[in-house]
Amino acid sequence: MQGVLADHGRIDVLVNNAGRGAVATLEQLTDAQLQEQLDVNYLGVARLTRLVLPSMRAAGRGRVVTVTSVGGAVGQPFADAYCASKFAVEGLMQSLAPVAATFGVVVSVVEPGPVASEFVGNVHRADADAPTDDPYAALLGAYLRRTAGAFDNAQTSEQAAEVIVEAATTAEPKFRWQTSDQAAGFVGMSLKDLDGAGVLGVTSTWIA
Amino acid at 208: A
Q: List residues with catalytic annotation.
A: 82
| Beta-strand runs (E) in 68-152 | 105-111, 115-116, 124-125
Cα–Cα distance, 128 to 123 (Å, whole number): 11
What are the strands, taking DSSP E only, across the chain? 13-16, 22-23, 62-67, 105-111, 115-116, 124-125, 155-156, 176-178
